[in-house]
Structure 1
Amino acid sequence: MSTAAVHPSAIVEPGARLGDGVRVGAFSYIGNDVEIGDGTDIGPHCSIHGPARIGRDNRILGHAAIGGEPQDKKYGGERVELVIGDRNTIREFVTVNRGTAGGGGCTRIGDDNWLLAYTHVAHDCVVGNHCVFSNNATLAGHVEVGDHVILSGFAGIHQFCRIGAHAFIGMGAFVNGDVPPFVMVAQEGYGRPRGINSEGLKRRGFDADRIAAIKRAYRALYVAGGSLDEARARLVELAGDSDDVRALLEFIDAGERPLLR
């Protein structure tokens, strides 16, 4: 039998499944077909709608709205879901929507992420691990975010864009193209690349040689002034000596939207 602790004012539908040590705060609602892993803490006035699978040891604070229907006019009530991993912190008034049938049917958030107050993750997004979304950061539908990405406050990501691992999106930047791994983007109308996230890379244990290789790749892509094809040819050369440059090149080659340049 589950050892979940549910406040008397909370509503947990019969079809919900709560793991051991789950706590549900006052006036929260847990819907049918919601599964919440061991040790997860749900604050007051939260709503979690299914189908949704939420892992263990997450913290979901007051007034978060998790697993709501996708904000898509094409949605017709079909079964779509949300999957959230372990040890995430989801702060006040965060909204996360389920997927759509046309987008794969699932919104996914990995492990060890921080979603600060008023952030929004739309339908069919895929978010990696160890990301930080600052207050009011917003993902439109079908966005893919790699590991260790930081979105500063009020950043907005256009639908179908990809944000590569270790990228940093500055405050208020609006991103309407793919951002390669390791790149910093700053506000200037729509966001524009402004170097690499070297400080973040240092904090994650990247040594000087790795960072220098990434800087050379950035210069080839954004500073040299040639075409994208010319930049790509130079990246192919640099990738022979660097796994990080190889990952950046693979990111570029896999894209369907234009690269942010």
Structure 2
Amino acid sequence: LREKLEAFQNKVLSVKSQMDSVKARSKGAKISEAQMEERKKGVQDLENRQVETNRILGGLRKEREQTEKAWKEKEALEEKMGQIHHKLDLLQELEGLFRGKKFVEYVARYYMEYVSREADEKLKEMTGNSLGLETDQSGMFIIRDYKNGGATRPASTLSGGETFMASLALALALSSQIQMKGAAPMELFFLDEGFGTLDEKYLEIVMEALEKIRDRKRSVGVISHVEEIKARIPVRLIVEPSRAGEAGSKIHIERE
């Protein structure tokens, strides 16, 4: 298109040059009427050619403007198509996540890590910063043993008392999450057995942790056969097995 414009512009200049040349030659010259008519006709032809050339040149300029406009629209569409393809790629990736179990696994692992971080703090508090709780890359719980230079070991290597405290730390962390996410407040925390595996030191630590829960306006229920627990619980529901000749167990409440 540019080459066509340049060619027509050169042609216009050539026509103008020819007209100027004719005018210069005719100055002061004596010509016959026939020659005058012939030259007038030649000038008219040149003027007609100039008009046609200008018309064509105007058309080419308009065509160039339309081409430039179309080119800009094409670039804008290509940019928009790029954005659409990017969104499609993201949607396909999300579709792949939702189609399988990957999304559920991702959410579960996210909350598992969140719960384990809170459980880690509670376990450190209960064990005097000697044990910590984490999750590995597969989502399994592992123990951080700070008495052994911070080395990790499987949760299965914990003793009975340590296992109980780790389980309690997880239960407390999970209950906190339920308390935060639930529409209604969680007012009762129930714990079934496990105290028999604790020595006197750990039993004291666990009971202090449970008393802190009670102080946060939540009731704590404990099922246990450990006598030392009774002294720490202000309200006790005592279940006595039936005696010979009696039907059913007996239940009564003891208060301090």
Do the two structures share a fold, i.e. TM-score over 0.5? no
Q: Which has the higher contact order (CA 8 A, sep 6+)?
A: 2
> Structure 1 length as normaliser, TM-score?
0.23
- Which has a greater percent of helix? 2
Which structure: larger Rg? 2
TM-score, scaled relative to structure 2:
0.23
